[in-house]
Homo-oligomer: A and B are copies of this chain.
Amino acid sequence: MKNISFLNVDFDGGFWKDRCDLNAKVSLKSVYKRFEETDRFNGLRFEKKDIKRDIFYDSDAAKWMEAVAYLIEKNGGYEEEQKIIDGIVDGMERGRLKNGYINSYFIAVEPQNAFTRRTDHELYCAGHLIEAAIAYKRATGKEKFFNLMLDYVNCIERAFITEKTARFSTGGHEEIELALVKLYEDTGNKKYLDMAMFFLNERGVREEENYDFSNSKYNQSNAPVRELKEAEGHAVRATYLYTGMSDAAYHTKDAALLAACETLFDDIVNKKMYVTGGIGSNRVGEAFTVAYDLPNLEAYSESCAAIGLLLFALSMQKHGLNAKYADVIERVMYNNLLSSTSIDGREFFYENPLEIHLGSVDKQTSLNPQFRTPLPIAHRLEVFACSCCPPNINRIFARIGDVFFSETEDALVVNQFAAVSLENERISLKMQADFTKDGKVKLSAKNNRYKKIYVRKPSWCARCDARGRAEGDYLVYENLSSVFEEEIDFHLGAYFVRSNPRVRDDGGRVALCYGPTVYCLERIDNPWDLNSLSVDLSAAPAKRALADEGHFFALETKGRRDKDFSGLYRPCGDREEEVTLLFRPYWTFANREKCDMLVWVRRA
């Protein structure tokens, strides 16, 4: 089984094409502009002195370059961006140390401390630069960036493996593991796969430097990787590690490593994932906490963590036919990934809370506005101090075509649904679908050489009209000829979901969904305290146009509102007032003025 690359997949209009075009045309430029203004590229140019530097700036620059590379590889062009990247690469060549070491912060600020502090992101930055270099070589054929990184990888190999001059043995922020597997996939040189396995196998086998606010769980160093049973610690670090583990297991056939990945994936999606596909409940450490702890107001649910979960699921999808991975990818795509960016593509969320209650922001600042970060943030920003998310969003939208199809020796698997064409040596397939509108999927193939086609039946689908044979979570089409035509109706519609009763914060509450899209209330549309409202499960939500409609619409339905009174407490008794509630897609929240928002609404 392997995933089919975005290079073979073209969008034919529709919602996802629009969002991807917006990423390429607006978001990418928005990030570039703010990154220039904040010296994120200047570090690697090694020209100016007295610029802002941080230990993670190289990774920000790398993710943006990787995004550009995917867009070039897919579409060509982007000459201006190529010049920018070539300039940065020249700078890296100029600035790197003789031994191949490249890290703009350490070279400029404290070269004597290279590879001495585990917590300082060097291997993380290296990993992102490796990913960018591979993508840029493939996209442009230019090899300088790639060769610089090969030298750096050799430098890393000496420092950590052969000469062991580094003062730590595995990175405090994972990323290099999955990057080294990619380098192996690109070069076929097993040395890089061995290096990836080295960093995986050395992890969690000894005491190493930790972050002062946490223990070794924070960066998944609390046990050897094959013995990890629960998703713990920093959610981005965790999912990057798990992706690296899965990618490595794919090539090494390491069954214990894969088994650990399966356990960790199930632990996330069965106990630690928001209904929006967000992960990481704990603002302290941006981390997983314990099973079923999913606070909505304090949700961290970082954009990068949702992307990490998507990457992990995408990697797991390669190991065999199992719809649960694509289900999670769909959940992330239609909710936390989309919500990370403003409707106009210019601004981004770091956190993606499931509730905004401005009163709780006032509460936090009631003693001293300087004392604490207002929680949660109620609007997106162009850039932030720790700006890992915006370029991560850029690069994931640039390759989102990766999620749609996978294949085995004789079968094609349709994992996701949109208006796309698949062109490879085995099929010319046109899919018409738009789950933001309805549940109809039309597949038209010619030149087909697959024997079977599997079409995933989404987990939200309660009723399905199709000719295919149901097999588990798939519709299966067999004994195919060169031409294939099928129309499926998954009957997209509104429905309410509830949480496992162990989730304290969702007790007595429901989330309104429309197919894969989670909906929410915003106070602008529902001018009352949102927690004084309840929704009537017996009423049928109706579609309503929104003023800012693009591909999305509101759902209107019946609810009730607790009657107001002065003072604090009174005996129960008075009737609730009937109200009409207007829900909008979760991902479109916080695109107007700052206001309260709520996903999990009380059931009446």
Contacts and interface: CB of A to CB of B under 8 A. Distances in A.
A564 B501 contact: yes
A570 B460 CA distance: 9
B363 A214 contact: no
B569 A362 contact: no
Contacts of A362: 289-290, 293
Given A501-B562, A508-B508, A366 B569 contact: no
A508 B561 contact: no
Interface string A338-378: 00000000000000000001011011001111011000000
A507 B532 contact: yes
Contacts of A569: 275, 497-500, 511
Nearest to A266: B567
Contact of A568 (B288, B500, B505, B563): B500
Contacts of A462: 571
Interface in A476-514: 495-505, 507-508, 510-511
A290 to B, nearest CB: 5
15 contacts: A213-B368, A215-B368, A270-B568, A275-B569, A282-B366, A284-B371, A289-B362, A290-B366, A360-B504, A496-B571, A498-B569, A500-B568, A505-B531, A507-B532, A537-B572
A565 B499 CA distance: 9
Residue from A288, A507, A511, A564 with most neighbouring chain B CB atoms (10 Å)? A507
Residue from A369, A503, A568 with most neighbouring chain B CB atoms (10 Å)? A568
A517 interface: no
Where chain A touches its partner, the secondary structure class is loop
Contacts of A269: 567-568
A515 to B, nearest CB: 12
Contact of A561 (B215, B369, B501): B501
Nearest to A531: B507
Interface of A: 213-215, 217-218, 232-233, 269-271, 273, 275, 281-282, 284-285, 287-290, 292-293, 357, 359-360, 362-363, 366-369, 371-372, 460, 462, 495-505, 507-508, 510-511, 528-529, 531-532, 534, 537, 561-572, 602-603
A532 B502 contact: yes
A270 B368 contact: no
Nearest to A562: B501
Contacts of A566: 270, 500
Nearest to A362: B290
Residue from A287, A496, A500 with most neighbouring chain B CB atoms (10 Å)? A500
A495 B572 CA distance: 8
Contacts of A293: 359-360, 362-363
B568 A503 contact: yes
